[in-house]
């Protein structure tokens, strides 16, 4: 049971990573980040079943942070869109010094 759960969460995580790396739309990259977080959540739950439920408490934290992150992140995306009429990450290089 544990091995399957780990394999699934690894799969989900890799999908998330690949999405973050390859997609150019900020919304989709954002959703992929959520996918990675949830893959980690799945790992916590699976391990929690074996080693005690303490780990599941972490999941609540992660979900809370993810919700906050979603709120802030989406707000930023909207702000950028208003500014530039695009959410294509390749055309946004404000971090360049």
Partner 1 sequence: MIAPALQAAALAAAPHPLSGTAADWVWALPLFPLAGFLVNAALAVVAVARPGPADPSADRHSAPDATAAGEDVAGHGPGAGDADAPPPARHRFASVVSLVGPLAVGLAFALACAIFAAMARVHPTTPFVQTYFHWIPAGDLQVNAAFQLDQLSLTLVLVITGVGALIHLFSVAYMGDDPGYARYFAYLNLFVFFMLVLVLGASYPVMFVGWEGVGLCSYLLIGFWYADRANADAGKKAFIVNRIGDFGFLIAMFLLFVQLGTLDYTGVLAAAPGGLEAGGPVVTVICLFLLLGCAGKSAQIPLYVWLPDAMAGPTPVSALIHAATMVTAGVYLVVRSGLLFAMAPAASLTVAVMGAVTALFAATIGLKQWDIKKVLAYSTISQLGFMFMAVGAGAYVAGIFHLVTHAFFKALLFLGAGSVIHAMHAAYHATHSHEDAQDMRNMGGLRARMPVTWILMWIATLAIAGVPLFAGFFSKDEILGTIFDRAGGSILRDAHWLGIPGGVVLYAIYGMGLVAAFLTAVYMTRLMLYTFHGQNRTGEAARPHLHEAPWLMTGPLLVLGALSAVGGFLNTPAFLPIGPAETLARWLDPVVGPATALIAAGAPGDADPRRGLLLSLIAAAVAATGIVVAVVRLGRSAPVRAGAAPETGIESVLAHRYYVDEAYDRGIVRPLLAFSNRVLWQGVDGLIDGLVTLGARVWVWFGGIGSALQTGRVGTYAWALVVGALVVLAITIR
**Which residues make up the interface to partner 1 (CB under 8 A)?**
17, 20-21, 24, 89-90, 92-97
Residue number, 22 or 64, with CB nearest to partner 1: 22
Residue number with CB closer to partner 1 (19 or 56): 19
Q: What is the largest CA-CA distance in the chain?
A: 49
Across the chain, the runs of DSSP E, i.e. the strands, are: none
Q: How far is the CB of 82 from partner 1 (least distance, A)?
A: 19
Nearer to partner 1, 24 or 84 (CB): 24
Q: Which of 74, 78, 82, 80 is nearest to 95 (CA)?
A: 80
């Amino acid at each position: 049971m544990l091995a399957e759960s780990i394999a699934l969460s690894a799969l989900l995580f890799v999908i998330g990573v690949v999405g973050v790396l390859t997609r150019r739309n900020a919304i989709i990259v954002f959703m992929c980040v959520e996918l990675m977080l949830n893959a980690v959540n799945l790992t916590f739950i699976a391990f929690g079943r074996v080693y005690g439920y303490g780990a599941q408490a972490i999941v609540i934290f992660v979900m809370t942070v993810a919700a906050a992150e979603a709120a802030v992140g989406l707000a930023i995306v909207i702000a950028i869109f208003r500014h530039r009429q695009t959410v294509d990450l390749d055309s946004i290089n404000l971090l360049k010094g």
